[in-house]
Amino acid sequence: MMTLTPKNKVLVVITGPTAVGKTELAIDIAGKLKTEIISGDARQFYRELKIGSAMPEPSQLEAIPHHLIGHLSIRDYYNAAIYEKHALAVVEGLFRNSGYAVLCGGSGLYIDTLCRGIDELPDPDPLVRKKVQEVYREEGLTGLRQWLRKVDPVYYSEVDRANPKRMMRAVEVFLSTGTPFSSLRKRRIKERPFRIKHIVLNRPRPDLFARINARATQMIADGLIEEAVGLYRYRDMNALNTVGYKEIFSWLSNHWPLRFAMEKIKTNTRRYAKRQLTWFKRYNDAVWFHPEEKTKIMEFILKQ
């Protein structure tokens, strides 16, 4: 259980779509606030996914300490409930020496978990998890969607149906408890012993998409293909069910030509960015900024 800290402690949340410029801004802000950064990017938890997750460069990690980056292996089991415990412990530690902590990332579920809490749902039996994974492997998204629609139509109507991990989790909970996932979620916002300054970064759509395309090209130049080849045997793991790796795995499985896979990385990353923006629009307490509005952002953070 987290020890209560005074309400003058502030968690600065810096989020936004992929490639918008979160990391650079967070490092600048954390330096000015004399604090450190907690990752809110689920892909960057895994040490093997350096290039495909756009993990901060070694020089950036040296400039400002980062927490919950590269602390897991793709073989490790991890979920939002575990993250909540880890992230709150980091925040508590940072608040011992500073009035601020910075959360940076684009994974909405994990950001919500730290800021608002998560319902404690049961972990499924390993055999249940294996069964669900086998169905997904054999029948793909279509089979998974049909299964979820049958056992939990309420959650099916609202879940991101391009995200197999969340759909599998809902099916696992149903098989383990006999109760729909949507019925078990209480959606109660947990009171946090600190204030939250929620910042969403965005850019004009053409600018954002150009940055996404440029980043994808740079990742390939930096060795994304070689990184994915080395991870091919783990391709069925949840950690690798992500843009960048999936497309290269399709090439390695002889489903797509390499050039087509490389273009699909750009297309699917742009689609992912759109889904992120849709998620962030739900935040009523967030203030939106262009990443270059640093003065306005600092004024917002420091305003009492």
Q: Is the pLDDT of residue 6 over 60?
A: no
Look up the CATH number of domain 10-118+188-302. Answer: 3.40.50.300
From CA 80, how far away is CA 114, in angstroms rounded? Answer: 9
Q: What are phi and psi of 162, to 5 degrees?
A: -100, 0
pLDDT digits (tens, 9 = 90+) for 242-292: 899 999 999 999 999 999 999 999 999 999 999 999 999 989 999 999 999
Percent of the chain predicted with pLDDT > 70: 96
Amino acid at 45: F
Q: Is the pLDDT of residue 11 over 50?
A: yes
The stretches of the chain forming alpha helices (DSSP H) are 22-33, 58-63, 80-95, 108-116, 126-151, 153-158, 164-177, 181-184, 205-222, 224-231, 245-252, 258-280, 294-302
Average pLDDT, the chain: 91
Going from N- to C-terminal start, the domains of the chain cover 10-118+188-302, 126-184
Q: What are phi and psi of 15, to 5 degrees?
A: -135, 180
Instruction: Give the Cα-Cα-Cα angle 106, 107, 113 (nearest 5 degrees).
Output: 125
CATH of 126-184, one of 1.20.1090.10, 1.10.20.140, 3.30.43.10, 1.10.3720.10: 1.10.20.140
- DSSP-assigned beta bridge partners for residue 102: 12, 37
Pairing mode, if any, of strands 66-67 and 10-15? unpaired
Angle at which helices 108-116 and 80-95 cross, to 10°: 60
Q: Is the pLDDT of residue 5 over 50?
A: no
Edge-to-edge strand ranges of the sheet holding 287-289: 66-67, 37-39, 100-104, 10-15, 195-201, 287-289
Angle at which helices 245-252 and 258-280 cross, to 10°: 150
Q: For position 36, what pLDDT does the model report?
A: 98
